[in-house]
Structure 1
Amino acid sequence: MTTMTVGTPVDKKRLGQTPLERQEGRFRRSLKRHSTPYLLGLVGIVWLLLLFVIPLISGLAVSLMTGNPEQGYTLTWNWSVYYDVFFNSGVSYGLFLWRALWYAAAATLVTIIIGFPMAYFIAFRVSQRWKNALLLLVALSFFVSFVIRTDMWAFVLSDQGPVLTVLRDLHLAGKDFHILGTSAAVIGGMAYNDLAFMVLPLYVALERIDPRLIEASADLYGNKTRTFTRVVLPLTRSGLFAGILLVFIDSAGDPVNASLLGGTHTYVIGQAIQDAYLTNQQYNVAAALSTVLMIVLGIILFVYARIAGTDNIEDLV
């Protein structure tokens, strides 16, 4: 009688290997397993290197050059350009930077005030068949050029535009009242152009909320205010975080709204960078201002992320 033993299959190939060869095999398998995520993210890494890291380093190098457009610029490691631009140039670049940050913060607040009710209405008060249509309307503005949208907004707010015409007909505004050329016009234009950047992340966060949580809050005698502040608002933190980042960053360096909707008293750092590069051809000054703006934004966003950011990067997806 033949007896058959059932057990774990023996890898004959491994039996013929030396301990060093088996160790090398385990190392290769481990390396393959751990390198897969990096290989999958290689395209994104190359994209960031080409379009973010290299331009950033290039801008920093240009800021440290001296010369002029006729004779060319030479890298002289002129670090004093950062001090001279803000303290010895005779131009209030610090004021322009502060004004840009203030406008961006105000525009972000306006988009939150307008965008949160819009996202909440689409997520909880609209039937499923109409949600996609309303989201398409929110994103429809992206099908039109940013400059054209802003220019049309300038027409709406002009002295002969529909807004002031109606206000004057209702005797709510005098003949000397103007909207264009004011800070309100610039902030309104920024909020108008970036509203979708706030609505869409908020909608995604609100859509992920389980309706049973809201019902449970009502069953526990929570009124609408407490339900919103204790249940809805904390669960939308990831969407609010993403929306604030998108709107604030886009508005802080924007020169278009201030150029088309503002005046001499609404000049911002984005216009200063544009004029230094295109009009005055001060390439090192423009690069220095751009570098300072990116550093300031980076510090602000890092502090904000540490204070109010999400605990898990998956919350932003």
Structure 2
Amino acid sequence: MTGVKKFRISTPYLLLIPGMGFLFIFFILPLFNLAQTSTQTRVGGGDTGEYEQTWRFANYFDAFVENREQFGRSFLYALIATVLALAIAYPLAYTIAFKGGRFKNVMLVLVIAPFFTSFLLRTIAWKQILGEEGFVVPTLRSLQIISESTTLTSSAFAVVMGMTYNFLPFMTLPLYASIDRIDPRTLEASGDLYANGFTTFRRVTLPLSMPGVVAGTLLTFIPAAGDYVNAAILGSPQTKMLGNVIESRYFKIVDYPTASALSFTLMVSILILVTVYVRKAGTEELV
């Protein structure tokens, strides 16, 4: 019986082995390799692609100073896209949860339907939508909102719109899961206590849905800050994000130390921001 009891106790740890092994091989080891590469120095001149370990931590400072504009732009675009996604997704998730009825499952399928299409194709579609051949620009011009010479592609507006659309499901699904768990009787009780609709939302619905808000904003902001596809397709050299710089350093300039330093700095910056945000948001009920 003692052997059986020990086996039962060790079973959960045995089940962790495949997952921990996967994380070690495909996350921990690449992370160590990234850190090691970030302190190397190029050997010789030109584009030899040969580096030696010199523990040059100044690579981090040089990379940040040289690309500080892209750093700020990445976090700014990600923040704007997250706020816009929250403004769009919250009413959508609320409607699906409380007003969807028998069409709730259909509406959820429509939310995740973009996942069945390539991320790249969705971004290219936005380039066509916002281009001269699309319906947005001619409509805005006919309403005299923009001038005849104004274009929407190759702009910060296009990049943010593409990011908002592509990451919208990541915001909607956690919000729906959180709102759907709210007992409608709590809303009815608020009305019985003479609270109007806005007060009920502010004092009851929003606090109870905060776990979904926190989860959705994290799932949107984190990939948006490191995105480079939207900026590459919908933007211009003036709207480059840090992901575009890292991609260029790795595959075009072949400057592995700078690219690694930028990647590590971006990861640490996001980790710090997320930690502060989670602590300030108070997510002890985020389960």
- 5 Å-filtered alignment, 1:203-222, equals 203-222=176-195
- 5 Å-filtered alignment, 1:5-44, equals 32=7, 34-44=9-19
Conserved? CA contact 1:241–1:309, under 8 Å = no
Greater relative contact order structure (CA < 8 Å, 6+ sep) = 2
Q: Distance in 2 between matches of 1:232 and 1:204?
A: 13
For structure 1, which segment, 185-194 or 66-75, has the greater mean C-alpha deviation from structure 2 after superposition? Answer: 66-75
Deviations 1:32-76 (A, max 9, x none): 555443333333322322222222111111111222563622222
Normalised by the length of structure 2, the TM-score is 0.93
For structure 1, which segment, 231-240 or 171-180, has the greater mean C-alpha deviation from structure 2 after superposition? Answer: 171-180
Partner secondary structure for residue 284 of structure 1 = helix
Matching residue within 44, 57, 63 for 1:79: 57
Q: 1:41 to 1:217 in 2, by over 3 A?
A: farther
Matching residue within 93, 103, 118 for 1:130: 103
Matching residue within 192, 197, 214 for 2:170: 197
Conserved? CA contact 2:226–2:243, under 8 Å = yes
Q: Distance in 1 between matches of 2:228 and 2:69?
A: 15
Q: Provide structure 2 residue ranges, at least 5 long, that are not aligned to the other structure.
A: none
Deviations 1:220-241 (A, max 9, x none): 1111111111111111111111
* Alignment-derived partner of residue 160 in structure 1: 133
Q: How far is the alpha carbon of 1:200 from its aligned partner?
A: 0.5
1:192 partner letter: Y
- 5 Å-filtered alignment, 1:1-317, equals 32=7, 34-67=9-42, 70=48, 72-87=50-65, 91=66, 93-127=67-101, 129-312=102-285, 315-316=286-287
Conserved? CA contact 2:152–2:158, under 8 Å = yes
* Alignment-derived partner of residue 7 in structure 1: none
Conserved? CA contact 2:42–2:51, under 8 Å = yes
1:110 partner letter: L
What's the % identity of the aligned pairs?
Answer: 41
Q: Distance in 2 between matches of 1:71 and 1:176?
A: 44
For structure 1, which segment, 301-310 or 265-274, has the greater mean C-alpha deviation from structure 2 after superposition? Answer: 301-310
**Aligned alpha-carbon RMSD (Å):** 1.8
Conserved? CA contact 2:49–2:254, under 8 Å = no
* Alignment-derived partner of residue 16 in structure 1: none
Larger Cα-atom Rg: 1
Conserved? CA contact 2:100–2:107, under 8 Å = no
Aligned length: 284
Conserved? CA contact 1:105–1:248, under 8 Å = yes
Deviations 1:57-105 (A, max 9, x none): 1111111122256362222222121122234xxx3x1110111001001
